[in-house]
């Protein structure tokens, strides 16, 4: 009953946009939206970074517009990065915008603002932006977009098929018809994508469906990872693949995908620990990790880049390494050509 009511409300809202009662606004530049139809982690952030980098490498002046969940003042606009420098800290930026800003130094500006239309117009005027990447914007219909990309997690595509609050869908599956493309993420964690591809095509028979996997690209000592956030220098010392028993921890929307990726790439995990998505770590959390590591005889801690940016001022008494991932498409050439094509 509650899911039916939620779906009705979403349907009315979408209809008001389709009929022009609610207005969508152009940002005055090429706009690529990357979002989800479900709550929880779908591997969206690596795709946002991939798209921004691709556009920048093809001559665009790029800005990422993001809401910035979990930041200290969610109603304020924060210029996280002007593209050359990080201009705030993780508490004010939010963990994902801060991670994106660091990953894309020299490639893209990052602005956190709930009002992405106002933020986009401001950024275009201030920085001469020629391309925007909207983070988590499939439901943010106020901003017009040229391309609408939906991420679907291969490991848990649609939950039980119900909308909130009885399921994980943000809106009914039939609304996949709005997507210009679907990217199935974490495709390496399942054996066969054919049933999922058929299900997606049932709701949108014309959009291309791409498959992508996350692959470990670097394993960097935490101190080295944090040191390289100050400028464009890429610090390579401290990179190695720990072979001791590892305790992996994270605060992600879908933590088990991170742990499974590590296992698939032959990291020896003696224990795992999860925290709520967007969690900011405290000394008490680190003490909990140290206790669990002792119980599991873990010699090394492993975490993600999203988590690492929130560990800067905490004392960790075991070696801690940051596992950085890259997005790998099964057909990268076609995806690149599609996203760069004019619509």
Tokens, residue 84: 């050359």
Q: Which domain holds residue 157?
A: 2-213+328-340
**CATH number of the domain residue 292 falls in:** 3.40.50
* Residue 56 Cα distances to 35, 65, 123, 266, angstroms: 20, 15, 16, 34
What region does 209 belong to: left with phi over 0, alpha with psi -120 to 50, or beta? beta
Q: Which pairing describes strands 62-66 and 30-36: parallel, antiparallel, or unpaired?
A: unpaired
* 91 and 180 inside one domain: yes
In a shared domain, residues 129 and 220: no
Tell me, what's the pLDDT at 289? 97
Integer Cα distance of 302 and 269 in angstroms: 9
Q: Is the distance from CB of 31 to CB of 132 less than 8 angstroms? A: yes
Residues 92-109: tens digit of each pLDDT? 999 999 999 999 999 999
Can you give the pLDDT at residue 136?
Answer: 94
Same domain, 237 and 312: yes
Q: Name the domain count of the chain.
A: 2
- Strand runs labelled E in 222-341: 246-250, 269-274, 300-304, 320-329
How much is the pLDDT for 238? 47
Average pLDDT over residues 317-329: 94
User: Could you give the 3-state DSSP secondary structure of residue 26?
Assistant: coil
Same domain for 244 and 194, yes or no, is no
136-176: pLDDT as tens digits:
999 999 999 999 999 999 999 999 999 999 999 999 999 99
Residues 102 and 168 in one domain: yes
**pLDDT recorded at residue 5:** 85
Indicate whether 290 and 335 sit together in one domain: no
What mean pLDDT value characterizes the chain? 92
Residues 94, 200 within the same domain: yes
For residues 207 and 235, membership in a common domain is answered with no
pLDDT for the residue 42: 85
pLDDT at 311: 96
Please, what is the end-to-end C-alpha distance for the chain in angstroms? 40
What is the sign, positive or negative, of the torsion defined by CA atoms of 141, 145, 166, 43? Answer: negative
pLDDT for the residue 236: 43
The yes-or-no verdict on residue 342 having pLDDT over 80 is: no
Are 164 and 261 part of one and the same domain? no
For CA atoms 275, 165, 43, 148, give the dihedral sign: negative
Pair 257, 43: CB distance under 8 Å: yes
Q: How confident is the model at residue 239, as a pLDDT?
A: 57
Question: What is the tens place of the pLDDT at every residue in 192-235?
Answer: 999 999 999 999 999 999 999 989 999 999 999 988 654 434 44
Residues 224, 335 within the same domain: no
Distance CA 197, CA 272 (A): 32
pLDDT in tens, 265-311: 999 999 999 999 989 999 999 999 999 999 999 999 999 999 999 99
Q: What order do you get walking across the sheet with 78-81 strand by strand?
A: 78-81, 108-112, 62-66, 131-135, 30-36, 147-153, 181-185, 209-221, 320-329, 300-304, 246-250, 269-274
Total count of residues recorded for the chain:
343
Do 37 and 195 form a contact (C-beta atoms < 8 A)?
Answer: no
Using the predicted structure, report yes or no on whether residue 25 has a pLDDT greater than 90: yes
Query: For residue 273, what are its two tokens?
Result: 């620990």
Write the pLDDT tens digit of every residue in 66-125: 999 889 999 999 999 999 999 999 999 999 999 999 999 999 999 999 999 999 999 999
pLDDT value at residue 230: 46
Using left for φ > 0, alpha for ψ between -120 and 50, and beta otherwise, residue 260 falls in alpha
What's residue 229's pLDDT?
A: 59
Examine the domain organization and report whether 255 and 137 are in the same domain: no
Supply the pLDDT for residue 6: 87
Q: What's the CATH code of the domain at 23?
A: 3.40.50.300
Task: Report whether pLDDT(343) > 80.
Answer: no
pLDDT digits (tens, 9 = 90+) for 226-265: 886 544 344 444 456 766 789 999 999 889 999 999 999 9
Q: How confident is the model at residue 4 (pLDDT cuts 50, 70, 90)?
A: confident
269 and 319 housed in the same domain: yes
- Tell me the C-alpha distance between 295 and 287, whole Å: 12
């Amino acid at each position: 009953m509650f899911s039916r009511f939620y779906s009705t409300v979403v349907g009315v809202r979408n209809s008001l946009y389709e009929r022009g009662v609610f207005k969508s606004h152009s940002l005055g530049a090429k706009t690529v939206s990357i979002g989800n139809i479900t709550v929880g982690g779908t591997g969206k952030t690596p795709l946002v970074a991939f798209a921004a980098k691709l556009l920048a490498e093809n001559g665009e002046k790029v800005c990422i517009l993001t809401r910035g969940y979990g930041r200290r003042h969610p109603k304020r606009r924060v210029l996280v990065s002007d593209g050359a420098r990080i201009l705030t800290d993780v508490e004010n930026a939010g963990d994902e915008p801060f991670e994106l800003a660091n990953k894309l130094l020299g490639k893209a500006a990052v602005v956190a603002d709930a009002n992405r239309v106002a933020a986009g117009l401001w950024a275009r005027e201030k920085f001469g932006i020629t391309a925007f990447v909207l983070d988590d914007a499939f439901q943010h219909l106020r901003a017009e977009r040229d391309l609408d990309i939906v991420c679907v997690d291969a490991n848990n595509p649609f939950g039980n098929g119900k909308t909130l609050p009885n399921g994980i869908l943000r809106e009914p599956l039939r609304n996949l018809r709005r997507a210009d493309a679907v990217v199935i993420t974490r495709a390496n964690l399942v054996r066969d994508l054919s049933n999922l591809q058929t299900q997606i095509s049932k709701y949108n028979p014309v959009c291309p469906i791409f498959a992508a996997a996350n692959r470990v690209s670097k394993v960097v000592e935490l101190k080295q990872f944090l040191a390289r956030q100050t400028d464009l220098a890429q610090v390579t010392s401290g990179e190695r693949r720990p072979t001791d028993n590892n305790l992996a921890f994270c605060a992600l929307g879908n933590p088990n995908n991170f742990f499974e990726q590590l296992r698939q790439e032959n990291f020896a995990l003696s224990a795992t620990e999860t925290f709520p998505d967007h969690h900011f770590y405290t000394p008490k959390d680190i003490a909990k990790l140290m206790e669990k590591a002792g119980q599991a005889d873990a010699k090394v801690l492993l975490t993600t880049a999203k988590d690492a940016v929130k560990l800067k001022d905490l004392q960790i008494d075991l070696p801690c390494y940051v596992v950085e991932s890259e997005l790998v498409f099964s057909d990268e050439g076609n995806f690149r050509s599609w996203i760069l094509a004019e619509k």
